[in-house]
Structure 1
Amino acid sequence: MSKDKSLYPEILFHFCNKDGMFGILKSTFRVSYAREKIIGQERSREIGVPMVSFCDLKLSEVSSHMSKYGHYGIGLTKEWANKNGLNPVLYISQYSPFTDGLIQGLDGIHAHRRKLEQSSDSNELSTDYMNIFNTYRYVKNYEAPLHRKNHEKIEKYRFADEREWRYVPPLNTEGLAPFVPITTIKTEKQKAELNESIRHIGLQFEPEDIRYLVVERDQEIAELINHLELVKERFSWETLERLKSRILTAEQINVDI
């Protein structure tokens, strides 16, 4: 009996701009703080979360995603994702009592933890509270307004269509605040300075983990191959030859897939 085909692929994609993709191939993924706002009926909460985001979409589904996040992408195996502790986000409805209850509960836990920090014998309990509060770093509204720089606001954007997975560094990562007040990344300058302070924190991958590379236009394929050859200390000749056959273009995906 044949195994039923899953609705989900065995690949996670990360889309970005051209410079971002070439930088990732040269070194690795860099963790950066993203503004995350959870909206309920009566409550909302917004903080900065350190992460690298991916989408759990098939090639035939990525066209809309590329239009919002960039036409340059890297597709890596789910085996790599599991090995590195990535996790799908939990989508929650703005209109569910669960959402307001979650926000209220997490706010209460965080407030109690701050009080516990004043006690010298509270480390173990404080850690337990942080593990619960960590839930917030993997939660996103099913549907909410989408704000993007230099783009018109989308009032009802269905974030669940992205099927997001996240890499969020462990709570005890040295030199990294597990979350930051939203006031610290309100401006592009603030966000850039904060992200520069955590440039040493990356998400590693090996060239063998890559399944697909995506560029915007056919004319850029040769440029990408040249770039891979320039960083050949990371890419063996065999890997380069394999990846050359796995390069796709956004134009090709939009028209043919």
Structure 2
Amino acid sequence: MMDNKQVIDAGDQDKCYDYHQSANTLFHFMSELDYLLHSLTKQSLFPRYVLENVEYLKLDYKGQQVKWLLIPMLCFCDINLHKLSMHVGDNQKTGTKEGYGQYGIGLDKKWCEQMGLQPISYLNGNASQTEMLGLVLNQGLELMDPYKIDKSNENLYDFIITQVALSKPLRGQMKKETTEVQKNFHDEREWRFIPNLEGLTSPEFLNDVTTPEIMNLPFRRDLSNAMQAEKDTHLKLKINIIKYIFVSNLDDRDKVLELLSMNFSREEALEMATKIVIYDQIVKDW
């Protein structure tokens, strides 16, 4: 007969699966109120093409170094509320625009797991794992040209792209609009949603050697906007999995409340209103 002490009921098991050293919410922040309003109206988050610096992998394509890749993704941070100000705001000491914006949505982490979001791997430039990834990428770089894919190696191609899309150096450069900032990426505890673009017109990735246009902001914006038209790339939201709605100030809150009253039932609007967090107020208590 099984000892009752060895039996864990479903309720206790759920508690074991809660996060204790990290947040139970994943946060996605934006730089503009309009982005947040659009996401709430459409009840969706929309991946965008993001420049990723890959100099740490020492990639070479036909004698030219690949420094940047352009990859579609949605980025989230796994940071407890009281530490979010360092992620959201800009660097007050240096005056650099390092923050991701004071507008955002916090989503239930367990739901995010079910939707396939994945914590990324942080790579130490001095580690053998990083060297091996660079070697594999260099050997298969020809496969990474989306216009010259060898169908017989398609699974290898997909694996390489996925590994790159879910990896980042411990520290490095990040593009903010047209400027570059130095970041400690490991502090961001990042998770990503990578849309499935199979059968769609949007490219899975581009690099700065074969497509130097990716370094131009208007080009990246056009690609991201075009991907928004592909509905299968969206991360569809449900009211019950939204835990927080971040706005910068009281005026922003009023605009969100107006949008909720116009686009949701009274009950839904009231439920959503209780989730609004005003950054200017709460940051003083973090």
Q: Distance in 2 between matches of 1:5 and 1:168?
A: 23
Equivalent residue, structure 1, for 2:201? 175
Q: Return the alpha-carbon distance in structure 1 between the equivalents of residues 149 and 238 of structure 2.
A: 43
Q: Helix, strand or coil for the counterpart of 2:227?
A: coil
Do the aligned residues in 2 keep the contact of 1:72 with 1:214 (CA within 8 Å)?
Answer: yes
Q: Which structure 2 segments of 5+ residues have no match? A: 1-11, 60-65, 90-98
Counterpart position of 2:223: 194
Normalised TM-score (structure 1):
0.85
CA deviation vs aligned residue, 1:130-172 (integer Å, no higher than 9, x gap): 2243211111111113342376x544x2111111111111252
**Pair 1:210 & 2:226 matched:** no
Q: 1:77 to 1:5 in 2, by over 3 A?
A: closer
SS at match of 1:192: helix
Kindly tell me: are residues 129 and 146 of structure 1, through their superposed partners in 2, closer, same or farther at Cα, counting changes over 3 Å? closer
Q: Determine if contact 2:143/2:149 at 8 Å carries over to the other structure.
A: no
In the alignment, structure 1 residue 133 sits paired with structure 2 residue 161: yes
Matched-pair identity in %: 24
Check the 8 A contact 1:13/1:56 in 2, yes or no. Answer: yes
Runs of 4+ in 1 over 6 A off after TM superposition: none
2:137 maps to 106
* CA distance, structure 2, for counterparts of residue 102 and residue 128 of structure 1: 13
Q: CA–CA distance in 2 between the matches of 1:112 and 1:187?
A: 24
Partner amino acid, structure 2, of 1:30: F
Q: Does 1:246 align with 2:261?
A: no
| 1:74 CA drift (Å) | 0.6
The TM-score with structure 2 as length reference comes to 0.77
Decide whether the 8 Å contact of 1:32 with 1:195 is kept in 2: yes
Seen in structure 2, the aligned counterparts of structure 1 residues 32 and 220 have a Cα distance that, compared at 3 Å, is: closer
Matches within 5 A, 1:221-232: 221-232=253-264
Q: 1:94, 1:143 within 8 Å by CA — same for their partners in 2?
A: no
Instruction: Establish whether residue 161 from structure 1 lines up as the match of residue 187 from structure 2.
Output: yes
Are the structure 2 counterparts of residues 250 and 113 from structure 1 closer, same or farther at C-alpha, using a change threshold of 3 Å?
closer
Aligned counterpart in structure 2 of residue 80 of structure 1, from 102, 111, 133 = 111
Establish whether residue 220 from structure 1 lines up as the match of residue 252 from structure 2: yes
Which residue of structure 1 aligns with residue 48 of structure 2? 32
Residue type of the partner of 2:25? I
1:22 Cα shift?
0.7
Q: Contact between 1:208 and 1:239, CA under 8 Å: does it hold in 2?
A: no
Contact 1:31/1:202, CA 8 A, preserved across alignment:
yes
Say which of 82, 85, 91 aligns to 1:60: 82
Q: What are the within-5 Å matches in structure 2 for residues 16-27 of structure 1?
A: 16=30, 17-27=32-42
Question: What SS does the aligned partner of 2:54 have?
Answer: strand
Aligned residues: CA RMSD:
2.5
- Give the distance between the partners of 1:5 and 1:170, measured in 2 at CA: 28
63 and 173 in structure 1: CA distance in 2 versus 1, 3 angstrom threshold: farther
- 1:194-248 alpha-carbon deviations (Å, 9 max, x no partner): 222212232211122211111111333222111111222xxx4333222222211
What amino acid sits opposite 2:71 in the alignment? V
Corresponding residue pairs, total: 247
Distance 2:263 2:268 in 1: 12
